[in-house]
């Protein structure tokens, strides 16, 4: 009986192998992406589901099945993380299960297999993702959560005088922001000073952040950031992190609505009066956007409300201080990988 089952299994698998090998790359998701692969893995070994069973008893009772899965993982680990050199350093470029772009391929690049920065190869250019938002455990990452920047542009961004030249100074800037938040500092001026000193925390997008550049008597945003790529400006409005943004029923409080309305007002003025601002104020605005920085350690429901509000105006991005911290850390990781020979 066992021999017959083995012969039958070989026949079925060899037939499947031939079909898969002869299929076009674009057909693979339709052939195997409908859950059949997961069913195959579960057939080899069902995931642990008995809470009363110890981990070690589960391993022992499924010893050979799990060994086979481990061998499959090892084969993938060895054969499909491609080793190469980047700036004379050994790196691994590994495939990623996340693929958002029809005209590009996403991957992982780092010092270990299947770890490192999230990359994108698109139109002949290599880009890497900078996290724009804090992602809670179990929450799926999406295209809006990353900004992909090519290596050349990031090199230009990271070479700005405002970006610290040592890893130690980069790390200190992160710890300074963490300390302000841990101490529950709610003085807005402390964060204003921090952002002017560290404009790079916004993905190194800005070479300079200037405060209170008046458009006219009625329009004076907290900050304008001068972009590295074209020297045009964006608007940055901030509120202290511990300012309550929501009522008990998770509706926006008046303070938040006022900040949102200000952001829309400044953006509209910058767009409508761009010629005036350029001629009279020497402020250049080209397709400006606005970062509205507010809130810290918000609930999942409150984050959902913020994302809903964002969808009403695609030019405004609401960053919580958690998001800012994640973006700053992601920027540091990118810069460190980009300029690893730098002194520490």
Give the bridge partners for 130, in sequence order: 147
Sheet of strand 125-131, all strands in order from the earlier edge strand to the far edge: 82-86, 89-95, 104-110, 117-122, 125-131, 146-150
Q: pLDDT category, 138, cuts 50, 70, 90? A: low
Q: What's the confidence (pLDDT) of residue 55?
A: 96
Domain residue extents for the chain: 2-79, 82-155, 161-338
pLDDT per residue as tens digits for the range 21-46:
999 999 998 999 889 999 999 999 99
Q: Is the pLDDT of residue 340 over 50?
A: yes
Q: What is the mean predicted confidence (pLDDT) over 1-25?
A: 91
CA dihedral of residues 150, 152, 157, 158 (deg, nearest 10): 100
Q: Are strands 316-319 and 290-293 parallel, antiparallel or unpaired?
A: parallel
Largest CA distance in the chain: 90
Q: What's the confidence (pLDDT) of residue 219?
A: 95
pLDDT per residue as tens digits for the range 32-91:
988 999 999 999 999 999 999 999 999 999 999 999 999 999 999 999 999 988 777 788
Contact (Cβ atoms closer than 8 angstroms) between residue 235 and residue 284: no
Confirm or reject CATH 3.90.380 for domain 161-338, answering yes or no.
no
Q: What's the confidence (pLDDT) of residue 85?
A: 84
pLDDT per residue as tens digits for the range 282-314:
999 999 999 999 999 999 899 999 999 999 999
Cβ contacts of 157 within 8 Å, gap of 6 or more: 149, 163, 200, 203, 204, 205, 207, 228
Contact (Cβ atoms closer than 8 angstroms) between residue 294 and residue 320: yes
Q: What's the confidence (pLDDT) of residue 33?
A: 86
Q: pLDDT category, 1, cuts 50, 70, 90? A: low
Residue of 89, 178, 134, 152 whose CA lies nearest to 330: 134
Q: How many residues does the chain have?
A: 344
Per the prediction, the chain carries an average pLDDT of 92
Ramachandran sector of residue 210 (left: φ over 0; alpha: ψ -120 to 50; beta: rest): beta
Alpha helix segments (H runs only) across the chain: 2-22, 28-32, 36-44, 55-61, 63-79, 151-158, 167-182, 188-197, 254-272, 274-280, 300-310, 321-338
Contact (Cβ atoms closer than 8 angstroms) between residue 256 and residue 245: yes
Cβ contacts of 208 within 8 Å, gap of 6 or more: 162, 199, 225, 226
C-alpha–C-alpha distance, residues 130 and 254, integer Å: 32
Element (H, E) at 206: strand 206-211
pLDDT per residue as tens digits for the range 182-201:
999 999 999 999 999 999 99
**Residue 216 has what DSSP assignment?**
B
Q: Is the pLDDT of residue 144 over 90?
A: no
Q: pLDDT category, 232, cuts 50, 70, 90? A: very high
Q: What's the confidence (pLDDT) of residue 158?
A: 87
Q: What's the confidence (pLDDT) of residue 342?
A: 38
**Residue 227 has what DSSP assignment?**
E
Residue of 39, 44, 114 whose CA lies nearest to 76: 114
**Residue 219 has what DSSP assignment?**
B
pLDDT per residue as tens digits for the range 245-268:
999 999 999 999 999 999 999 999
Please give the backbone phi and psi of residue 335, each rounded to the nearest 5 degrees, phi first. -60, -40
């Amino acid at each position: 009986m066992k021999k017959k089952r083995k012969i039958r299994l070989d026949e079925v698998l060899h037939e499947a192998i031939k079909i898969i090998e002869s299929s076009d790359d674009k057909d693979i998701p339709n052939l195997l992406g409908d859950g059949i692969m997961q069913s195959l893995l579960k057939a080899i070994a069902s995931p642990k589901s008995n809470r009363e069973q110890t981990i070690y008893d589960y391993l022992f009772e499924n010893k050979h099945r799990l060994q086979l899965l481990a061998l499959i993982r090892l084969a993938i680990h060895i054969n499909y993380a491609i080793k190469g050199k980047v700036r004379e350093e050994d790196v691994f470029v590994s495939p990623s299960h996340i693929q958002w772009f029809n005209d590009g391929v996403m991957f992982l690049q780092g010092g270990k297999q299947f770890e490192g920065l999230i990359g994108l190869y698109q139109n002949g250019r290599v880009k890497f993702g900078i996290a724009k938002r804090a992602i809670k455990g179990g929450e799926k990452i999406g295209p809006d959560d990353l900004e992909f920047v090519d290596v050349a542009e990031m090199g230009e961004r990271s070479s700005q005088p405002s970006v610290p030249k040592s890893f130690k100074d980069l790390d200190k800037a992160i710890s300074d922001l963490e300390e302000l938040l841990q101490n529950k500092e709610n003085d807005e001026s402390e964060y204003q000073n921090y952002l002017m000193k560290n404009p790079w925390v916004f993905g190194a997008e800005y070479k300079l952040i200037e405060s209170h550049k008046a458009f006219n008597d009625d329009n004076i945003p907290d900050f304008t950031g001068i972009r590295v790529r074209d020297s045009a400006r964006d608007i940055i409005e901030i509120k202290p992190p511990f300012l309550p943004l929501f009522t008990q029923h998770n509706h926006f409080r008046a303070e938040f609505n006022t900040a949102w309305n200000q952001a829309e007002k400044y953006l509209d003025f910058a767009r409508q009066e761009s010629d005036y601002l350029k001629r009279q104020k020497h402020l250049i605005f080209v397709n400006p956007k606005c970062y509205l920085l507010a809130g810290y350690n918000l609930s999942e429901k409150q984050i959902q409300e913020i994302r809903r509000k964002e969808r009403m105006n695609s030019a405004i991005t609401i960053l919580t201080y958690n998001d800012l911290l994640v973006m700053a850390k992601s920027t540091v990781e990118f810069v460190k990988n980009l300029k690893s020979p730098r002194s520490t």
